[in-house]
Structure 1
Amino acid sequence: MHLQKLESAHNPQQIYFRRDVLCETLSGNSCPLVTITAMPESNYYEHICQFRNRPYVFLSARVHPGETNASWVMKGTLEYLMSNSPTAQSLRECYIFKIVPMLNPDGVINGNHRCSLSGEDLNRQWQSPNPDLHPTIYHAKGLLQYLAAVKRLPLVYCDYHGHSRKKNVFMYGCSIKETVWHTNNNASSCDVVEDVGYRTLPKILSHIAPAFCMSSCSFVVEKSKESTARVVVWREIGVQRSYTMESTLCGCDQGKYKGLQIGTRELEEMGAKFCVGLLRLKRLTSPLEYSLPSSLLDFENDLIESSCKVTR
């Protein structure tokens, strides 16, 4: 219903919004795939080329049905992307968003906490997904593999989750160097050459999102996580900025929300702040082609905060 509402309310002259079915689940439920970007300025060839050649951002959520907070963060992201704010329009002009809002519809509908109808954790099936048992993972991975094959690798992949023990919002990323150092491998981490760009987006979010905590982030790839979306998209697909974004089920122990139980407003705010973070990332990675004034980004940041203030 939420996607239908967004689709019916958007301005088709300004926003390209497309809702497809990625696949059907084991029980025949549809798994939606949403595409959002800005419409081309005109039908001129150069504008169409610019429209087609925008970099991709791939987002997914709710692979674990019990992590309901992930859907509230996704709601904040979707509503921000479909909004009329100047920075949302700039963001749509920068990227093509491919979004799977719910990777495990069967689990959500049937009240599961972590598994699908096959009784398996779908976030441990990314290495070798079975098209019959894990169709949503199989087709999501297939779409990412296709984008890689046609040289349109996403700039960012992020899978939204909820965390039952840790506080705040934070990210897990992937780093060879930090993993080697953490595991005390015989190979010296000093010998590993690695672009540290994977830290940029979390660092941005730590400055603009009050619920986000950089010190809780980790970029170590543990053996037990080898078959998760984050690690497979990084290792197999080749997306350097591949993340899991975890939102607390409890509350925050730092920033302006310290000592408060996190609510739906704060989670939606985090989804919107994530979008602002992507815009700032664009400014840092393509400073010559993109020149949105930082004052506008700061103004947008203040607007989000004022609209999501908590009254206790």
Structure 2
Amino acid sequence: MNQPTESDREVKVGVLSALGAFIIWGLSPLYYRAIGEAPALEIIAHRAIWSLLFTLLMVGFSGQIRVFISLFRDYKIQLILLLSSLLVSVNWLGFIWAVNNGKALEASMGYFIMQIVMVLLGRLFLDERLNRNQIISLLLVCLGVLNLLVAIRQLPWIALLLAISFGFYSLVRKKVAVNALVGLTMECLFLAPLALVYLLFLNHQETLVFGSREIGFDLLLIGSGLMTALPLILFTSASKRLRLGTVGLLQYLNPTCQFLLAVFLFDEPFSAHHLNTFILIWACLAIFTLDSRNRMKRESLARKLTGMP
């Protein structure tokens, strides 16, 4: 019987890490519903503060303190991460509001179409050319959104907000060569002072939920920091060990879990018009994923033929 090689073990760890990250993200609506008594802005404030604590600990344990400190000497990187922190806070706020206001289905739609939005942003801002399959994918997404707009006179603004905000976040983060953990730590450092001021304001107004419920509720609010940091660490681990195409395929576990929760557990409205829209989106993703895999195979073959690693 063949013993597993080091490469096999690395792939196994990578797959398990990716599954852990995407399942945690996918099931996160359950967590944020459990603390839904707190307003979305208060949850975001706690998320920023406690995420900073957890990410600082992880930066320390992973031996990246010097890398983190070096960011304070580069004002350009700080400005870029300040912008990305604002974008990610918009994404967090939109998602938590959606989950606690009967819009988890629409949130899942946003994360399904996120990759397509990122391709479009790449075309608009990075001058990346679109091939035929990518154009077809974009058209299918547009048809899906248009279907909801015409059929039920409702623009899926939450889906668009989540997809566009994270798309711009990814676009901005491409401008800096900073790993995910160190970057998130700096982003939380920018958000934490504003978050703390907001919590102090709520406390002064006697509307702060933290501390007014049982200890278990407060611990869940604190745990929102770990809910932010842990899947990111797992995702980073997976990205180092797996091919981009594998990670891209597994990432659809996240919106799939959210979709199933919204329809079967949260019992959100799911009409034939919603089904038609999702069918168009899933068709788009099938075309997009197959196209990405084929391009990666061609690029891999080209590297082998030219002797490149």
Q: Provide the TM-score with structure 2 as the length reference.
A: 0.32
Q: Provide the TM-score with structure 1 as the length reference.
A: 0.31
* Greater relative CO, 1 or 2 (CA 8 Å, sep 6+): 2
Q: Which has the higher helix share?
A: 2
Q: Which has the larger radius of gyration?
A: 2
